[in-house]
Amino acid sequence: MRSFLYFVLFLVIAILVTVLTAILGDQGAWYFAWLVGTTMIVLVSAAGGAMLDANEENAAQNPPPVEHRHSGAGGAE
Amino acid sequence: MINGTVVDLSRAQFAATALYHFLFVPLTLGMSFLLAAMETVYVTTGKPIYKQMAMFWGRLFMINFALGVATGLTMEFQFGTNWSFYSSFVGDIFGAPLAIEGLMAFFMESTFVGLMIFGWGRLRKGQHLAVTWLVALGSNLSALWILVANGFMQDPKGAKFDPVTMRMHLTSFQQLIFSPDAQSKFVHTSIAGYVTGAMFIAGISAFYMLRNRHMDIAKRSFRIAVLFGVLATIGVVTLGDALGFVDAQAQPTKLAAMEGLWKSTPAPMAFNLIAFPEQAKQKDVGAVRVPMLLSLLVTHSLSGTVPGINTLEQQAAQKIRNGIPAVEALKALSRDPQDAAAMAQFRAHRADLGYGFLVQRYAPRLSQVTPAQIERAAKDTVPPVAAVFWSFRIMVALGLMMMAFFVLATLYSLRNRIQNKKWILKVAVWMIPVPFLANEAGWLVAELGRQPWTVYGVLPTWMSASTHSVGYMVFSLIGFVTLYSIFIAIEMYLMIRAIRIGPGEYDDDGAAPLLPRPMLAPRAQPAVPYGGNLEG
């Protein structure tokens, strides 16, 4: 039942977005650009934050290999 | 006739309050969506650090929001107190968006701001996120209605002057809100706010990184802010170009002033990179020009042209001549609304009514107007060129500077090397005031460029003010400047204090620390069973 209610809610939102897009596409292209652009800016910047976490977690799990210096003596051996 | 000094003082008062208010507004517009971005990461990843970030930046947002609301209130009242003729003339159109803005700001925005700040620990994660998004939408939508009203002043669409009621009537609400000027102005201003919010957060995060404090929060905030900022600056420049394109059609005198374009020239037109415009002599001194660029910028074509000020003045003189019979007919109609001949005369000349009003300043008896008076009124249609020209260049230069900064900062942040680049962190701190200056310069271009009109081509500024005394205006101007300077000082003090304290410490699970209790709130008492007294 809960899934069905969510389905109805998202369907209503999808229909509203479609109607809004049709109206704004005709009458207010810049308003439409603002809606799409703002959503994109927020999501890209949020993804940037999440990517930083992923990079740090990856670096913690896979530390870079320790570099061994080859001394001159070692080379002679 | 209204005293010219009173008109100038009314303008100075509105300009001062608007410039102060416009220091707070863009930060609210931008920070609200940045908070939404941080909280979206918190809700989707469940990592407590993003909650800590949203709470800390939310505290700074709240300081700015409170003072922004306080400075904005008086502006709406000024329409009634200092611009009463304007309010009566266009109130039927201007009132609706202003009222919707008031409802948005005080009901939607303020209610959800309260829930956002005090709802941590009281609302569920998803509910709180929805509230934060609604705060961001509410702030920006309240700006939308103000800019719809301002768009009408720049390019009056969806309204018509009624010679019987002697004021403008709304003919199409749709045309009013979808006017190209309102649309492009809203998107340009809103996204300029995003740039402001991004620079503010990037600058403060850089400050923490330079001091090696709150590194985890600072690195994440910086990353989110610079990505937000780089996309927003690209948007603001693109949308500024769109606004210039709209202005070229709707307000050619503003565009000519922005470009210091005294004379019409054939295509492709050169762009004045630097010049020192002299209004009296109608020429640019020390001009450094880029060939062909102006045609490309304002018409998006090498063969396109825009008229220079000399052509626009000639057109204005013609419009003034055509507007004079409209004003005379209006005077006849005010004496006898049934006068059919006057109504016919008005209808034939109504398109240039505003230009007829313009010359009335110099020729109260329009039947005796002289060519010199018409020429003088035509010269008045040109805004203060040097101020508009330089404000525009300052805005554009600062915008491009911010774009360069954000591109570089994003590059280093994405490579996880930003904490080692001390010089760019230092630059970020010094860049904090830059978007504020760019915003103020942009506001000056928009409003000074509209002069000598309050409603472009319809109502001259000199007719719009109230009939106050000079003493009253000087007193209230000093009062406003003093009060608003105190507000700025309070904001700076509270912001610096909150930044020095920094983000608070939170539990690992992201639970908020206990909030201080209001003094009068009832304290929780240990539960005592009803039978307690009986037992004693």
CB-CB contact of B451 with B67 (8 Å) = no
pLDDT of residue B148: 92
**Interface predicted TM-score (ipTM):** 0.83
Specify if A70 maps to a domain.
no
Specify if A54 maps to a domain.
yes
Specify if A55 maps to a domain.
yes
Option in A34, A51, A52 nearest B190 (CB): A34
* B405 to chain A, closest Cα gap in Å: 16
Task: Name the stretches of chain B with pLDDT < 50.
Answer: 506-536
Interface test with B, best of A36, A42, A53 (most B CBs within 10 A): A42
pLDDT in tens, B404-440: 999 999 999 998 888 888 999 999 999 999 999 999 9
pLDDT of residue B502: 86
Residue A76 CA to residue B7 CA, distance in Å, equals 92
Residue corresponding to tokens 């904490």 = B419
> Looking at beta carbons, which residues of chain A come within 8 Å of B183?
28-31
Query: What tokens does B236 get?
Result: 């603001």
Specify if A73 maps to a domain.
no
Residue B330 CA to residue B349 CA, distance in Å, equals 10
Option in B37, B174, B187 nearest A46 (CB): B37
pLDDT of residue B531: 38
Q: Find the closest chain B residue to A47 by CA distance.
A: B41
Specify if A71 maps to a domain.
no
> Looking at beta carbons, which residues of chain B come within 8 Å of A33?
187
Q: How far is CA A66 from the centre of its chain?
A: 32
Specify if A18 maps to a domain.
yes
pLDDT of residue B319: 94
pLDDT of residue B536: 30
Residue B375 CA to residue B373 CA, distance in Å, equals 5
pLDDT in tens, A16-27: 888 888 877 777
pLDDT of residue B235: 92
Per the structure, the complete domain to which residue A36 belongs is given by: 2-59
Specify if A13 maps to a domain.
yes
Residue B432 CA to residue B435 CA, distance in Å, equals 7
Residue type, B5: T
pLDDT of residue B505: 53
Residues contacting B79, CB < 8 A, separation 6+: B86, B87, B94, B98
> Looking at beta carbons, which residues of chain A come within 8 Å of B414?
48, 51
Specify if A43 maps to a domain.
yes
Contact B45 A50 (CB under 8 A): yes
Q: Check CB contact of B261 with chain A, cutoff 8 Å.
A: no
Option in A27, A42, A44 nearest B178 (CB): A27
Option in B184, B235, B414 nearest A37 (CB): B235
Contact A44 B231 (CB under 8 A): yes
Q: Find the closest chain B residue to A40 by CA distance.
A: B231
pLDDT of residue B518: 46
Instruction: Count how many domains chain A has.
Output: 1
pTM value?
0.87
